[in-house]
Structures are given as structure tokens and as C-alpha cells.
């Protein structure tokens, strides 16, 4: 089977482009290639002298400015760069030029991992839908999304031979909003991969003290980690932190905000400056993979009171590292966190503050939630995600 995958969301993780859908696509491709290699190695007839077995090959389509393509090089992988955009007509390039480029490779199946397919592509396809928040809350997103929202996404869902949803909540929203049959949608959750990346030769391993000094972290902190955007509910989290900080027991606690700047983030940054507990709030910006792990590891609690999530990977990552989680009870977060964390109404500031205070005040509760979170997160692996995705590919082709 010859599989084409749209990798345009994988640009340059070092520049802060390794989050969200780019993160999903990068790890999905990595583990698909690994799963295919494991199958080949484990097949009894693949040994020398056995009959020839046909295995999957991949065509990975990248943005012409992508910096990370060599890491995906394999014998069964072809890297294709989409042409540079030469005209000031985004639709023409994104939907006609790309479709023509994909068709030229004659793949058996094309996977769009970022909610959409090229409008003019007519071959067999699968599309992954991460969330549909833009329909219920367009005010959370950048302006100029009308065509994608009202034309490209609906057309992609109709054209796809099968749809992958990253959660049951997302699947239900697809069914309700677009009246698509349940059998046409498979729920395949994301996985969690938090192994530290190898250090550069000659680099010195950083101590916890040096790490805290570099990022100006105190002994105790609440962590929020995600892109700064309206639906993450960060302004209300800051209000909740003001309430937490009024309690003398927590006067030494920081709120650490980590993540790349997103759309409509100006009110969030202004809120940080004008908050009553502002001097105890640290915005550290986008952090690389290794720093992210350490930020989680040293946090006392992870706060993720999002107003809506199609999946909610940061909460899963926190649980995998044993960090107690306080999360919003919206979107997919209840099915992801379950009883392994504390779910709060994300619209109620006092409820968020109360849950944070409860965790901060109780080492026993922290240990309980840490253990539950680790056990819960262990069920979400990229190996499972890749194998289930390959099964969808096979059923379509």
C-alpha cells in the first residue's frame, strides 16, 4: 500500500512550531514508520529465503520551508516538497496545486491529519478531525476563517472515505453538526511520548537548581502549558490564582504560563501585567521538549481549565509525569482525565481556585492523583495510535 500523508504542519519545532497538530502529525508519522518496520521484522516470511512480502511505502508531503525532513528518511519513504506559492491566491495553491502534486505520486490513500483535505483532490482519503470549536465559538479564532469553516472542512468530511476523530467528544460533534454516520468515524486517541531528546555532544546536564534559576522559577508553582489563546481560559485562571494567592498558605506559590503566543493573546498578556498577584506570575514563552518535561516534573499542580478541547494532550502529558491535574469539565477533557484528576466548571473562577487550593494544601492528595494519573496515561500510547491508524488505512484501501 502506498500511503501519502500531508506533513505541512511539521515545520520547525525549534521555532515554536512543534505544538498542536504539528506535534500530532510528527509523532503519528514516526510511529507509523516504526509500526511498519516492526511488522516487517516480525513477519516469519520476511526472513532470508522466504517468499517476498509487500510492505507499505510512504510519500510524505512537506511545506517547501520545512526544516525537519531528514529525520523521516527511510528506504520506504519518499519526501516531496510542495511547490513554492508563486501567486497571491492562497486557495489556488492550497487546494489545486497541492492536489495535482499528490495525484502525480499515485498514492493508494492520502491522509489529511489537520481537519482538511485539498479541495480538488479526488483520490481515496482519510481525514483526522481534532476539534470543531470554531463552529460554536468563532470568536475564539482568527478572522478570515469563513471559507475554511463553511466550505473546505464540510467538503473534506464528505469526500473522505473515512474520518478519524481524536476523542469520543469530537466524534459526537462531527455526527451532530454534519449528520455523518457513526460507522464512518473511528475514534483513535493521541498518545503520549515524553522521553527526553539526546543532548548535544559536550553539553552539560542541567541540575534542577540551574533549571529553576534559568527560568526564574520558585520552589512551588502551578503550571499552565499550551498555546496562549482565548479558549484556554487563561484570563479566568489568572483571576483564580489571585484568589489562591490571597491565602497565606500559598503566598510563595507562582503561576507559570508556558506556550507559544497564539491568536488574540493580547488580553491575556495584559491580564498578567495587571493581576493582583502579577509579580508571582511568570510567562516563560514556548519551551522545547526537554524543558517542557522538566517544567512538568517540578510543578506542584497542572492547571488546564480550558473552555473546550478536542483532546487535551497537555493534561495527558502532565498525568504521564505524575503531576496532579485540575482541568475543565468541557469537551474531551472528562473522557481523557476521568477520575484521575479534579474536573472543574471552567466558567467558575472560585471553583478553579478551590480545586487548586485543595491540591496545594494536601501532599496526600497530590500522591493519590499522581498515581492515578500515571496509570490512566499509560493506556495512551503512540504505538496503539499508529496501529489503529494503519487498520483504518487498510479498511479504506
Residue 179 Ramachandran class (φ > 0 left, ψ -120 to 50 alpha, else beta): left
Any residues with CB less than 8 A from the CB of 300 and at least 6 apart, and which? 220, 221, 222, 253, 324, 359, 360, 366
In a domain, 198, yes or no: no
Decide: 3 and 109 in contact? Cβ < 8 Å: yes
Show the domain range for 230: 208-377
**Residues 233 and 99 reside in one and the same domain:** no
C-alpha cell at 392: 483504518
**Residues 283 and 370 reside in one and the same domain:** yes
In a domain, 174, yes or no: yes
What is the C-alpha to C-alpha distance for residues 342 and 315, in angstroms, rounded to an integer? 11
Closest listed residue to residue 299, CA positions, set 273, 277, 326, 274: 326
Decide: 272 and 297 in contact? Cβ < 8 Å: no
What is the C-alpha to C-alpha distance for residues 378 and 375, in angstroms, rounded to an integer? 5
**Residues 101 and 232 reside in one and the same domain:** no
In a domain, 197, yes or no: no
Per-residue pLDDT, 201: 60
Any residues with CB less than 8 A from the CB of 270 and at least 6 apart, and which? none
Closest listed residue to residue 334, CA positions, set 344, 347, 349: 344
Per-residue pLDDT, 13: 55
**Residues 254 and 164 reside in one and the same domain:** no
Residue owning grid cell 494503519 = 390
Q: Taking the model in full, what pTM does it have?
A: 0.91
What is the C-alpha to C-alpha distance for residues 308 and 264, in angstroms, rounded to an integer? 16
In a domain, 215, yes or no: yes
**Residues 12 and 131 reside in one and the same domain:** yes
**Residues 241 and 291 reside in one and the same domain:** yes
Q: How far apart are the first and last CA of the chain?
A: 8
**Residues 366 and 276 reside in one and the same domain:** yes
359: exposed, middle or buried (Cβ count in 10 Å: 0-12, 13-18, 19+)? buried
> What's the number of CA atoms in the CB half-sphere (13 Å) around residue 2?
10
Averaged pLDDT in 10-residue chunks for the chain of 397 residues: 94 58 92 81 52 75 88 93 74 82 96 94 96 92 86 95 98 96 97 76 79 95 96 97 96 96 93 94 93 96 97 96 97 96 98 98 98 97 96 95
Q: Count of domains in the chain?
A: 2
**Residues 168 and 264 reside in one and the same domain:** no
Report how far apart, in Å, the C-alpha atoms of 215 and of each of 184, 211, 256, 275, 336 are. Answer: 47, 6, 10, 20, 30
What is the C-alpha to C-alpha distance for residues 366 and 264, in angstroms, rounded to an integer? 34
In a domain, 125, yes or no: yes
Its sign, for the CA torsion 74, 77, 78, 81, is negative
β-pair partners for 162: 126
What is the C-alpha to C-alpha distance for residues 114 and 261, in angstroms, rounded to an integer? 20
**Residues 166 and 17 reside in one and the same domain:** yes
Residue owning grid cell 515545520 = 11
**Residues 163 and 57 reside in one and the same domain:** yes
Residue owning grid cell 516504526 = 34
Report how far apart, in Å, the C-alpha atoms of 161 and of each of 6, 132, 148, 155, 157 are. Answer: 16, 19, 20, 12, 9
**Residues 114 and 213 reside in one and the same domain:** no
Residue owning grid cell 508563486 = 86
**Residues 228 and 176 reside in one and the same domain:** no
C-alpha cell at 83: 511547490
What is the C-alpha to C-alpha distance for residues 232 and 267, in angstroms, rounded to an integer? 13
What is the C-alpha to C-alpha distance for residues 258 and 227, in angstroms, rounded to an integer? 8
In a domain, 77, yes or no: yes
In a domain, 82, yes or no: yes
In a domain, 203, yes or no: no
What is the C-alpha to C-alpha distance for residues 341 and 376, in angstroms, rounded to an integer? 10
Q: What is the CATH number of the domain that holds 215?
A: 3.40.50.2000
Determine which helix (DSSP H) or strand (DSSP E) holds 225, and give its type and residue range: strand 221-225
User: Please, what is the Cα angle at 245 between 241 and 248, to 5 degrees?
Assistant: 155
Amino acid at each position: 500500500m502506498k500511503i501519502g500523508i500531508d506533513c505541512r504542519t511539521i515545520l520547525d519545532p525549534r521555532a515554536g512550531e512543534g505544538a498542536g497538530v504539528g506535534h500530532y502529525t510528527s509523532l503519528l508519522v514516526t510511529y507509523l514508520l516504526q509500526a511498519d518496520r516492526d511488522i516487517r521484522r516480525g513477519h516469519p516470511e520476511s526472513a532470508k529465503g522466504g517468499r517476498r512480502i509487500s510492505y507499505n511505502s510512504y510519500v510524505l508531503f512537506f511545506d517547501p520551508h520545512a526544516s525537519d525532513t531528514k529525520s523521516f528518511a527511510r528506504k520506504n519513504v519518499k519526501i516531496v516538497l510542495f511547490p513554492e506559492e508563486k501567486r497571491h491566491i492562497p486557495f489556488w495553491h492550497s487546494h489545486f496545486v497541492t492536489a495535482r502534486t499528490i495525484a502525480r505520486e499515485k498514492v493508494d490513500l492520502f491522509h489529511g491529519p489537520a481537519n482538511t483535505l485539498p479541495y480538488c483532490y479526488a483520490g481515496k482519503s482519510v481525514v483526522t478531525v481534532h476539534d470543531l470549536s470554531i463552529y460554536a465559538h468563532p470568536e475564539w479564532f482568527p478572522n478570515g476563517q469563513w471559507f475554511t469553516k463553511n466550505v473546505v472542512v464540510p467538503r473534506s468530511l464528505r469526500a473522505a472515505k473515512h474520518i478519524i476523530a481524536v476523542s469520543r467528544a469530537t466524534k459526537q460533534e462531527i455526527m451532530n453538526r454534519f449528520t455523518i454516520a457513526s460507522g464512518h468515524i473511528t475514534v483513535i486517541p493521541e498518545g503520549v511520548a515524553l522521553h527526553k531528546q539526546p543532548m548535544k555532544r559536550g553539553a552539560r546536564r542541567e541540575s534542577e537548581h540551574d533549571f529553576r534559576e534559568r527560568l526564574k522559577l520558585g520552589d512551588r508553582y502551578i503550571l499552565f502549558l499550551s498555546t496562549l489563546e482565548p479558549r484556554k481560559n487563561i484570563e479566568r485562571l489568572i483571576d483564580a490564582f489571585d484568589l489562591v494567592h490571597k491565602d497565606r498558605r500559598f503566598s510563595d506559590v507562582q503561576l507559570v504560563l508556558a506556550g507559544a503566543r497564539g491568536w488574540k493573546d493580547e488580553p491575556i498578556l495584559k491580564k498578567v501585567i495587571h493581576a493582583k498577584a502579577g509579580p508571582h506570575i511568570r510567562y516563560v514563552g514556548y519551551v522545547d521538549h526537554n524543558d517542557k518535561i522538566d517544567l512538568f516534573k517540578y510543578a506542584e499542580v497542572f492547571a488546564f481549565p480550558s473552555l473546550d478541547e478536542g483532546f487535551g494532550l497537555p493534561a495527558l502529558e502532565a498525568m504521564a509525569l505524575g503531576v496532579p491535574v485540575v482541568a475543565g469539565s468541557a469537551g474531551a477533557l472528562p473522557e481523557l482525565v476521568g477520575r484521575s484528576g479534579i474536573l472543574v466548571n471552567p466558567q467558575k473562577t472560585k471553583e478553579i481556585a478551590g480545586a487548586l487550593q485543595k491540591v496545594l494544601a494536601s501532599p496526600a492528595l497530590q500522591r493519590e492523583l499522581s498515581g492515578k494519573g500515571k496509570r490512566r496515561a499509560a493506556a495512551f500510547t503512540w504505538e496503539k495510535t499508529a496501529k489503529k491508524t494503519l487498520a483504518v488505512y487498510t479498511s479504506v484501501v
